[in-house]
Structure 1
Amino acid sequence: MSTTFAIDSLPNRIIKHDDREYLFFSGTAYLGLPQNLAFQQLLTDAIGRYGTVFGSSRNGNLQLSVYEEAEAKLAQFVGAETALTLSSGMMAGQAVVNWLRLGYTEFVYGPNAHPAIWNGPTVSLPIMPFADWVAQLPAQLQTIKPGPVAILLNSIEAVRSEYYSFGWVRDLPDDRPITLVIDDSHGLGVLNAGRGIWPQIAQKDTINLLVTASTAKAMGLPGGVILGTAETLKAIRRTAFFGSCSPIPPAYLAAYVQADVLYAESREKLRQNLILAEKLLMPTGLFTHASGYPVFFTDHDDLYPFLLEKGIFIYSFAYPTAADRANTRIVISAFHELADIQKLAECVYAYCF
């Protein structure tokens, strides 16, 4: 069982626990924006204008224009027609699922689909490699009665750091309405120059593509987003589920619209850090790693206590429930210095050799 730390400040490249310092290689702040002083200053300035929270429905008779401004900016950046923000990635996913249920839609899930896009508290997910799931998908669709179908899956195997191929989307059948829902929480802000999975998906007139994501990871914003067509997002916005949701605090979106330079700088810093991490860590043979993605997964769970003794804290706990097997991974962030990664590699080599 992994050792649990309790600290009293935001984790940065160094955390302190029981009067000892540890290099921190965990979390999901891939671009290091919550720790970025310039980003914090943008947020501080925005709080002076917008306060800490806007506890109102987005469908109310008083609107804050920063929501539409930020959503238009994010949609244009990604390449989607429009965007709709919510208070979390979980709420974004559930807003989509709630809307799909109104259309009596059949749900088909990919392996390890995130709970944010589950239709209910428990879902039977296929237990098979992604390529095998893709191969059997046409046969599975043929067994479903005529009518709307939603295919829901993740954009990447985020835990084991493996990319998914999406070439199969162009071959989906045209004999029924299909909504393709992709949770891109771990790709948005990082992959494809920050644009995430959207540019990789073949656009078909017969496929309604919706991408959901948490913005609390690489984007550094406590909220979530849905990307899709204006028609679909307008329909989602009309639901009681969306209308009753509190929105993301507006100050964060005000900071986002001013932070282009900071996002670009952080992506470049992360890119440089990953070049070194891939060069030093991958020859050990310990890790599964999707090139360009800031996660290095290992089946060697005893790497965690070994590195902890060396003053390095990495990710290692059961997820998504306490009943699941612990998974162990190293997470690289833009807040790391090259010397941190070199120290990490030295300790990993000591474990190996």
Structure 2
Amino acid sequence: MSQNPAFRQLVTGAIEQYGTSYGSSRNGNVELAVYAEAEAKLARRVGAEAALTLSSGMMAGQVVVQHLRARHTQFVYGPQTHPALWHESTVELPTTSFTDWMAQLPAQLDALPPGPVAILINSVDALRSAYYDFTWIAGLPTGQDITIVVDDSHGLGLLHGGSGIWPELIQKPGIRVLVTASLGKAMGLPGGVIFGDTDRLTALRRTAFFGGCSPIPPAYLAAYCRADEVYQQAYSQLKENIKLAEALLDKTALFSHAKGYPIFYTERDDLYPFLLEHGILAYSFAYPTPQSPANTRLVISAYHTFGDIQKLANALYTYLF
């Protein structure tokens, strides 16, 4: 979306009204109505009761995690959970597959001492392009104080017609669900968001973490509120681009790919310099730290043309043959 001409025009017009930034606290005595309008619209988009926007996806995660930490919550992490949801600067993440982690989760919860528990996970494996199964939520015990926190930075705007992971998260009595996300990926907005129930989001808004941070620039939220048609057109174009990429790239057997998702992961890191020589820039870098293994991916966007995707496929065929 960030390169979409129609969306950029909406942002430019909104900047004329709101300026380039808004440095005040959201809890100050001056309130801009566009925040409540955009948050209500975002909540409707995913099907959540409420939404709260922040300056980044990292801040969204940390507002939630530090709130839970203040309640002396015990943290249970899923594989590859994004650092936005870490309660310390470093945490020990499971090295098992997501399937094995799901199987081990009931025993892990049983072994915990009494007290509130938070299960923190990503909505999708965006590094290796794989979907996660969330049916395990139905089997969680209702006698424990459990909060599920899902980072949907790589699902919001993509999964379930753009609603993200929320429709998959079973709403079970006694289990509280919160979703955090960067808005800077598919949504093209420089900020973050939290989805959940009104009571919990009201409590989060009262924290120093929320009150002390500057908000997302209001011009972008104003543009979002006016961009329904632009988002729909871009989403439709993205789906067509993904279909073409799947038709051309899947037969190379070079990639792991979740059907319908715009990421194609490969263990062939030598693809990066090869494609670069052919005028194609792929993602390939250590993540999330410089010590992490390299991760080489192709990311399809709505901004790509069919010609771009065909050029990519031709280069891959040259690489193979």
Task: Give the TM bin, normalised by the shorter chain.
Answer: over 0.9
Tell me how far 1:346 sits from its aligned partner.
0.8
Q: Distance in 1 between matches of 2:88 and 2:115?
A: 20
2:108 is matched with 140
Instruction: Give the distance between the partners of 1:254 and 1:151, measured in 2 at CA.
Output: 34
Counterpart for residue 203 of structure 2: 235
Specify the SS of the correspondent of 1:313. Answer: coil
Give a deviation string over 1:120-148, Cα, whole Å, max 9, x none: 10000000100000000000001100111
- Normalising by structure 2, report the TM-score: 0.99
* The one of 146, 154, 158 aligned to 2:122: 154
1:329 paired to 2:314? no
**Superposed counterparts of 1:204-215, under 5 Å:** 204-215=172-183
1:121 to 89, 106, 110: 89
Q: Residue 185 of structure 1: SS of its match in structure 2?
A: coil
Aligned amino acid, residue 335 of structure 1: Y
Partner of residue 194 from structure 2, selected from 226, 240, 244: 226
Which of the residues 245, 248, 255 maps onto 2:216?
248
Inter-partner Cα distance in structure 2 for 1:174 and 1:127: 27
Partner residue, 2:309: 341
SS at match of 2:161: coil
Secondary structure in 1 matching 2:91: coil
TM-score, normalised to structure 1, is 0.90
Partner letter of residue 286 of structure 2? Answer: A
Instruction: Give the Cα–Cα distance (whole angstroms) in 1 for the partners of residues 68 and 156 of structure 2.
Output: 23
For residue 193 of structure 1, report the CA deviation from its aligned partner: 0.4
Which residue of structure 2 lines up, in the alignment, with residue 163 of structure 1? Answer: 131
- Helix, strand or coil for the counterpart of 1:273? helix
Distance 1:294 1:141 in 2: 34
How much identity, in percent, do the aligned residues show?
Answer: 63
Q: Determine whether 1:112 maps to 2:80.
A: yes
- 1:56 aligns with 24
Contact 2:142 2:173 in 1 (8 A): no
Displacement of 1:267: 0.3
Aligned-pair CA distance for 1:309:
1.1
**Aligned pair 1:314/2:282, yes or no?**
yes
Q: Is 1:288 matched up with 2:256?
A: yes
CA deviation string 1:270-310 (max 9, x = no partner): 00000000011001111000111110000000011111111
- The 2-side partners of 1:225 and 1:115 are apart by 16
Residue matched to 1:93: 61
Higher relative contact order (CA 8 A, sep 6+): 1
Q: Does 1:302 align with 2:261?
A: no
What is the rounded CA distance, in whole Å, between the counterparts of 2:273 and 2:263 in structure 1? 18
- Separation in structure 2 between the aligned mates of residue 49 and residue 342 of structure 1, nearest angstrom: 41
Taking the aligned partners of 2:65 and 2:74, their CA distance within structure 1 comes to 11
Secondary structure of the residue aligned to 1:312 is coil
Q: 3-state SS of the aligned residue for 1:210?
A: strand
Q: In the alignment, which residue of structure 1 is the partner of 2:166?
A: 198
Letter of the structure 2 residue corresponding to residue 201 of structure 1: L
Q: Determine the C-alpha separation between the residues in 1 that align with 2:273 and 2:210.
A: 44
**Residues 60-79 of structure 1: pairs in structure 2 closer than 5 A:** 60-79=28-47
Counterparts of 2:17 and 2:141 in 1: how far apart (Å)?
50
SS at match of 1:270: helix
Unmatched runs of 5 consecutive residues or more in structure 1: 1-32
Report the CA distance between 1:191 and its aligned residue.
Answer: 1.1
Letter in 2 for 1:267: Y
Q: Please, which runs of 5 or more residues in structure 2 have no aligned partner?
A: none
For residue 162 of structure 2, give the secondary structure of its aligned residue in structure 1: coil
Q: Which residue type is aligned with residue 86 of structure 2?
A: W
4+ runs of 1 displaced by more than 6 Å?
none
* Residue 236 of structure 2 corresponds to residue 268 of structure 1: yes
Higher fraction of helix: 2
Q: Please say if residues 7 and 227 of structure 2, whose CA atoms lie closer than 8 Å, have aligned partners that are also in contact.
A: yes
Q: Give the Cα–Cα distance (whole angstroms) in 2 for the partners of residues 44 and 307 of structure 1.
A: 35
How much has 1:347 moved relative to structure 2?
A: 0.7
Letter in 2 for 1:350: T
Give 1:317 shift.
0.8
User: Aligned with 1:296: secondary structure?
Assistant: strand
DSSP-derived class of the 2:268 partner: coil
Q: Give the residue type in structure 2 aligned to 1:322.
A: P
> Is the Cα–Cα contact under 8 Å of residues 74 and 117 in structure 2 kept in the other structure?
yes
